[in-house]
Chain A
Amino acid sequence: MKRAGPQAGLFFHLHPARVAASSLRPTATLGLGILSAVLFALLALSGTLLTLYYLPTTSQAYGSMLDIQYLVPLGGFLRTVHRWAAHLMVVTVALHLLRVVACAAYRGRARNWFIGLGLGASTLLLAFTGYLLPWDGRAYWAVRVSTGMLDNLPLAGGLLRGLLLGGDSVGAATLVRFYAAHVFFLPLLLLLLFVWHLWRLRRDGGLARPGEPEQLLPARPHLLVREAALALAACAVVASAAWLWPVELGAVIDTVRPADPEKAPWYFLGVQEMVSHSTLWGALLVPGLLTVFLAALPFADGAGRYTGVWWGAGRRRSLLAAVALLALLVMATCLWLEWRQLRPAGIHPSAVMTILALLAGVAGWLLARSRRAALLAFFVVMVVALGGFTLAGWWRGSGWRLLLPWAG
């Protein structure tokens, strides 16, 4: 059999010629990177079609959305596909980050790690700028709530908010700015970063895996058939969701009275929930700590064994499972106290979970004598915390009371 060499054509040239057999297993990466890329392609396609009808002025935006929804052939379906694919892409990108951290695939790949962080930030910004475009009540207030939280940042907070909004409040300038970013600048940035990301992956020798020599298989057909299956799966899931659960437009914009309560988009709900307890912890300390953690990760844990293996050495899994369980219990207790309105005034759940995360990190270092274990323990607790806070934000009802869906 002829050894696969440099490939002809751009699409195949971007792919590696040969792939390790272990990288092809579904459990190696869960296909999250490919899924994110496919969802982006779907979003680009549906988004391009939507730009043919959408009008980004405050007087015409809502009407043009109504026209897309009800008049344009397949307009409602396209719009729903676009929205579902957007939400799904935020999820797959976040899970991709979790997978990379869990497998320590950042080791020796600091540049690609930062490119990936840039891709993640671009995805979130794309989702956020797109959220405003329908210009209905839900969009307006979600952006108003989210940008309001920016004021809590010291020094640059007000400036950043003014830059985003194009003024003091969400208005016509904001809509134009968000539209330009959403339709042109951010997709361009994402595309460039994505190509760089793939190229760095090739330069770094493919997907991260333990250093044992193993057999390499030709990418055609082994990698490509898996990619095609993931692409079709993503399309099928998004199309089914769009068919089953069409998205509705919200009520006409009302800048005077918000619904009660008004919430940020779900990917910022965790921050909104934390800020509702304490602006210091929610807006500054927790996001700051997470940013520092993510930035320092490839340097703090630059090399070691078990790279590319989920969670590292076998023994460590029980430690991490115990940490996760403890985090879940503490989070559930915080939520229960919140529901019963028994939480003591000075104790903030975000502070509790952050301190628990730091303690878990210390415990991981002491028990396992490994930096990766410490970092992973910290990360697991923070992920549980963010998930719990997002859920709490989702369950908040009128007057910002926590209302459990089964108990009220």
Chain B
Amino acid sequence: MQDAGKNTRRWYWLLLLLATWLLVVLLAVGWRELHPQWRTLQRRAAAGRQDAPWLGMIFSEPDCSGDGNRCRTCHFPGQEHPAAMRSHLDNQSGCSHCHGGTGRALVIPAAHSLPGTRLVDPLMYQPFVQASCAGCHLPGEKPGSERLARGAMLFLRLGCSLCHPLGTGGRGGFDFGPDLSTMGRRSTEELRTAIIDPRRDFAASTMPSFATSFTTHPEQLDDLLVFLLSLSLPPLDPGGDGWCRSRAGRWQGLVEQHCSACHNLAGRRAGGTFRHRCSYLLERGAELNCSRCHRQASSADSDDDCPLLEQHRRNCVVCHRQARGERS
């Protein structure tokens, strides 16, 4: 009985120790809760200012895809955009549908989807933020989207749309590749791998490697990535009011008129020269049975235009019947 009594007294001391430990931890938690990162950033920005009505407030607004945005809690209006972009701020349409990231978050790593978090959003960084321009503008139409325009031209020049057609309604063309507009937002590493080494992440892939296309100008791969990211922009919420709704209608039109990726000069004229590199088609000539209609083919190594182009006298509509709204 006395042994048990002595033991129990020891347990009372342990109880006190544990209670102290718990109290200290809870105090630490409370302290951190009372001093969140956004409050510190706001206080720093308010120092020296006469008027800071936003101090201590969480600023919340919906963006055009219907998600909540709290970016302006830390990013005060007017501070961040370059002068040419200031008109975007008047729209009160949130930040994340152009800049990506996690709009509802209030700590820097999560809000910006930094590397090291589980969240992924390449649109947070230049040049990839230019992909968002395609949500409302034709590529290259506005200053600041030049890399998007170059990416769009690369997409055609390299023949990507032969297997990854841009039209809606699923696959078309030769039915080799998935519809890129349904793949969702991918990280730039994943996209780079998919272009340079397609079989690394997906062993059954029949996509050829395009590594040799970027050896002379590696920065062009980033241009292409900007365009690819523009294909996976979140749909605008047509139920939004005013500015969002008007932009939503425009986005719908653009999706259907994928021709506008290239036909972006004044008067909807196409810009640049497009060379249909058919090396991929020629390699699969036997499988596609091209010789049934095309008796003469250029060699796979040549840089000449695809024989189809010559045969059909540059009548694009023969292949690109999607332009008329029909499936090819």
Contacts and interface: CB of A to CB of B under 8 A. Distances in A.
B1 A251 contact: no
B233 to A, nearest CB: 14
A24 B33 contact: no
Q: Size band of the A side of the interface?
A: 35 or more
A226 B184 CA distance: 54
27 contacts: A21-B4, A24-B4, A69-B110, A70-B104, A70-B105, A71-B58, A74-B29, A77-B29, A138-B118, A225-B12, A225-B15, A226-B11, A228-B15, A229-B14, A232-B21, A232-B22, A233-B18, A236-B18, A236-B25, A239-B26, A239-B29, A242-B29, A243-B29, A243-B32, A250-B119, A251-B120, A254-B184
A252 B106 CA distance: 17
Contact of A232 (B1, B15, B186, B201): B15
Interface string B31-60: 011000000000000000000000000100
Given A226-B11, A256-B183, A260-B201, A240 B25 contact: yes
A115 to B, nearest CB: 29
Given A24-B7, A243-B25, A254-B184, A229 B15 contact: yes
A243 B25 CA distance: 8
B72 to A, nearest CB: 14
Interface of B: 1, 3-4, 7-8, 11-12, 14-15, 18-19, 21-22, 25-26, 28-29, 32-33, 58, 67-68, 70, 102, 104-107, 110, 117-120, 182-186, 201
A33 interface: no
Nearest to A232: B18
A236 to B, nearest CB: 4
A256 B184 contact: yes
B11 A225 contact: yes
A221 B4 contact: no
Contacts of A136: 118
A242 to B, nearest CB: 8
Interface string A218-232: 000110011011001
Contacts of A236: 18, 21-22, 25
A249 interface: yes
Interface in A340-362: none
Interface in A65-85: 66-67, 69-71, 73-74, 77
Contacts of B119: 249-252
Given A63-B104, A232-B19, A235-B22, A74 B118 contact: no
A254 B105 CA distance: 20
B4 A222 contact: yes
A137 B3 CA distance: 55
Contacts of A24: 4, 7
A315 interface: no
Contact of A66 (B1, B105, B117, B184): B105
Nearest to A241: B25
Nearest to B178: A256
Contacts of B11: 225-226, 229
Given A63-B67, A222-B8, A260-B201, A243 B18 contact: no
B102 A66 contact: yes
Residue among B21, B104, B110, B182 with most chain A CB within 10 A: B104
A67 B104 contact: yes
A70 B33 CA distance: 10
A63 B68 contact: yes
Contacts of A318: none
Contacts of B120: 251
Interface string A73-102: 110010000000000000000000000000
A257 interface: yes
Contacts of B107: 70
Contacts of B67: 63
Contacts of A181: none
Nearest to B7: A24
A27 interface: no
A24 B10 CA distance: 13
A70 B182 CA distance: 30
